[in-house]
Amino acid sequence: MIYEYRVYEAMPGKMPDLQARFRDHTLALFEKHGIKNIGYWTPNVGDYSNRLIYILAFQSVEQREQAYADFAADPAWQKARAESEVGGPLVEKLTNILLNPTDYSPLQ
């Protein structure tokens, strides 16, 4: 199992729209395409309030690549993204890191 740590920095004023898109569309579409949702967070103290931080899980790097390709090609995702971005893009910056669990990690 590999994990992906992702941070979206929302465009000014767009965090509610970004969260609605994840809540109403993205999580279910991720699962549909084999992308396991581990958790989603927003900073409370010590970070910028425009960040959505989340972790996903995949069986392998190859499975991740295929899952993202299938997700991106899904008409339901394309529609949700287009409708949510009528007033402009929701994400200003994306950071992602692929993580391998240590042999002592509770998440394997």
pLDDT of residue 48: 78
Q: Which CATH number fits domain 2-99: 3.30.420.40, 3.30.70.100, 3.30.565.10, 3.30.390.30?
A: 3.30.70.100
Mean pLDDT estimate for the chain: 96
The residues spanned by each domain of the chain are 2-99
Percent of the chain residues topping a pLDDT of 90: 92
What is the predicted pLDDT for the residue at 108? 82
Residue-wise pLDDT for 63-78, tens only, equals: 999 999 999 999 999 9
Which letter, b or e, does each residue of 85-101 get, where b requires 16 or more Cβ atoms within 10 Å of its Cβ? eeeeebeeeeeeeeeee
Check whether 47 has a pLDDT greater than 80: no
Residue 63: count of CB within 10 angstroms of its CB: 15
**Structure confidence at residue 44 (pLDDT):** 85
